[in-house]
Amino acid sequence: MVASTVVCVTSHEDDRRAWVNENFGMVGQLPVYRAMLDRGHAAGPQDTVVIGDETVVERQIRQLFDAGATELLAVTLGSEEEQARTTALLADLAG
């Protein structure tokens, strides 16, 4: 089972979640997505992304695999530095 999510290793979690909300918040207004968000107790797309420092992101990714994921399709988000941190963590976890 493939888990697909946005991933960002950052020290600016609130800023990145706000960006996701600004750019993808309208998704939460579509009935099919609203139903999925409600089932997951998420206010909007900003609550479905994997964002935080390395420790937080690793824990969230491990939770996806503990829930049954066998592969991860990660879309990186953030500044060049944040994307580099994210890519490095994902490579470490894959190795």
HEC per residue, 19-60: HHHHHHHHHHHCHHHHHHHHHCCCCCHHHCCEEECHHHHHHH
Classify burial at 51, counting beta carbons within 10 Å of its beta carbon; exposed 0-12, middle 13-18, buried 19 or more. buried
Band of residue 95 on the pLDDT scale cut at 50, 70, 90: confident
Hey, is 94 helix, strand or coil?
A: helix
pLDDT tens-place string over residues 75-84: 999 999 999 9
Cβ neighbours around 42 below 10 Å, total:
16
Q: Which domain holds residue 55?
A: 2-94
Q: Please give the tally of structural domains in the chain.
A: 1
Q: pTM of the prediction?
A: 0.89
